[in-house]
Chain A
Amino acid sequence: MSLTLPTLPDGRILDVVRAPSHVLSVSGSPVDPGHPAVVQLCADLVATMRISPGCVGLAAPQVGVSAQAFCVDVSAHPKARTTHGLIVLVNAEIVEASRNEKAREGCMSVPELTGDVKRAAKVTVAGQLPISGERLLISTDAFEARALQHEIDHCAGMLFLDRVVGAHAVYPRKVYLPPPDVGGIVR
């Protein structure tokens, strides 16, 4: 089920900040959802996410702004189950989380590394829509749940590197291409 979002202005394409940039490690401030700069920031996040290949989410610190705002859209992703289409939230937090699952994450702001991170596979997120400030609760699962947690972490100044499951859980990024043949399990 898609969210009904307020109409955002045209977004600008911004540069994506990479670690070790300080802004990625700072906890973002709560924002006024109706402030024109916040509304423009939300539009810019969506525009920048849309033109970045494979990008399913982007948070304000990733474009150099320490603030609690992000967008997510996993609707075209094969690992998604429940999806809400384009999500744009400010001042969001996780209010319920359960069923931890481990997966290997990559991030546009840490382009040369990946890491194994445990995250809840079912979450409820509370946040506000830009412009109207309407408060929402979003309950979701699987890939959308992981994406929301990843972006809320960015807003709190945390990278996946802060959550990896062990000292040997960070890897050089590899270029993943479609498997040359059918993958699966042999036993």
Chain B
Amino acid sequence: MTRQVALILCVLAGAAGQERSNWWSLKPLARPPVPAVAGRLSRTPIDAFLQQQHAARGLKPAGTADRRTLIRRLSYDLHGLPPEPAEIERFVADPAPDAWERLVDRLLASPRYGERWARHWLDVAHYGESHGYDKDKPRRAAWPYRDYVIRSLNQDTPYTRFVQEQIAGDVMFPDDPQGVVATGFLAAGPWDFVGHVELREGTLDKNITRLLDRDDMLATTMSTFTSMTVHCARCHDHKFDPITQEDYYSLQAVFAGVDRAERPYDASAEVYRERRPLLEQRRALLGSLEPLRAIAAGVAGPQIQQLDARIRELRRNKAPREEMEAAAAERRRMVHERLEPRTRVKLESLESELAWVEGLLGGLPRPAMVYGAANVFETQGSFAPAWSPRPVFLLHRGSVESPGKAVGAGALAAVAGIEARFRLPEGHPEGARRAALAAWITDPRNPLPWRSIVNRVWHYHFGAGLVDTPNDFGRMGSPPTHPELLDWLAVEFREGLGGSLKKLHRLILTTDAWHRASPDHAANRVVDADNRYLWRMNRTRLDAESLRDAVLAASGNLDLTMGGPSVEQFDFKDDHSPHYDYARFDVTSPAARRRSIYRFLVRSVPDPFMESLDCPDASLAAPRRTTTLTALQALALLNDPFMVSQAEVFARRLESMTPARAGRVRHAYLLALGRAPRSGESAAMVEYARRHGLANACRLLFNSNEFFFVD
């Protein structure tokens, strides 16, 4: 190569590198100055950033919405529920200058807040409670993770800690049993039962199953916390973003020691502090025992065969337990006699140590179980724990048939200033890898998680993010409409607000922007039809859960019990492939009255009612929901047994409130729509109720656009 060519190549490489680190989402975070805006004073720094764009584009921002609109908007935003009529009246009449701030604080302090916002988080984590695929078994121990998310939001766990717990809570916060529960995040996605349990170890399809399982874990982690589409680099370097195949396989290596399985924890931290070291000892013993047990399992001979035949017969005849145990002990003795002495001594000493540890564990209160990321669990078929992280190779074109070089744990090299290849000591436990990734993500020098989370929160408050692709901050995603505002929010959240989501909500909810009405403005529409510059508030359609909960709330039928096992709103029949039948569920049973976040979420057969309302498939991350308005959705809202029955319950509630039909209609409007009917409306509805019954009138209110949309 001539010197000149080499020089050109260097320049080109340098240019490419520079261009890559210049990508907006990867640039280091710095707090931009708040723009000085002429004229009207901005209520918050956020408004100053927005106002600057209004001025630059000649947009005339809308005025403030009325209080009745604001409280309904706020209630659905923070709680996913309509405000009570009395609350509305109190707020509308509250003369105090801080009436709004007090209202916001009160709603943020309510446990309903965590229930509402946890649903957003579970969308992103694609949390489901069955495996998906063929043989879609229920995960009856998944719910503690859902409760963990609700509790964390209600307690306002600082974001750094919230992130770390979900990736490596079990190792970073070893004394807190909730650290174990939090790993439910890594296990939230689908799992191929047949691939893991039934395929033999060492087969190609087994390796593919495992590759795809890790792919889901790392894609979920990176999309959720960094908004990067790392999973695009499985088969080749990312086509659009500075993510290499080596980055990708380094992330596969992070999760190479864990699987999705049930693992024990304790409600009491004290008990857990006793249990944890024992569990660790047990795991170490099981790991050392495994090769020895394999040797013992291979021991055979005519006497053992004879004994095995006897054991089979005892089992067939359902012999007493003592007899069975004696036979098993006899078998063990025979096997051990035939082992090489050194192996035998080692095996027996480890087995007795294990028995001792098991005894101690048995003396503790029975643990609770959570479906999480686990490095030890009961073997099921060919699904067995990895005693040390499984080796990971860079796969040519993503094919398990073409492994390249071995790859250690790491993250994205394109994030400047943080070591992307984790330096871990030889023989480190698998948890160290996850802890290293959690540390890499939450490193204050990493700009991605901060931009990512403030954008998500913005998205849920306004119906669109400053970046309207919340899971993709790469080249295929959208650029931010207000890059300085995004950075200001990210830095403010990380530093000023100490990672408190509740403080971030409060900041956003007290802006002028969030308070605007949503009127039309022809000239504004010409400039910004999509309202990307927030010259008004976006009108939103209720999501599936809010609609269902609002119906229960209006009919006075909402059971606010928090947490615990999910309510199964279907008829379940276990089988080779379990059956989930929603048509046979009794919609008048108590299980129908819980908040929607407590529904049991089946992957293969989603609830058709919720599905018609765009409740997302728990198989893929849903950082934003599609909203449709379809004929089948109309039929569901009109005719679904749940809706039909709730309309009757609502009518009975109204009947118990007041004797006159007009009064009942008035209450119906207040409860469902948050306002009294106008006189013409009242007359028409009273007449309809007279001719066809109050329940039918209630049904109409539940189907009205005013009920379904929030101004």
Q: Are chains A and B native binding partners rather than an unrelated pairing?
A: no
A residues in contact (CB < 8 Å) with B: none
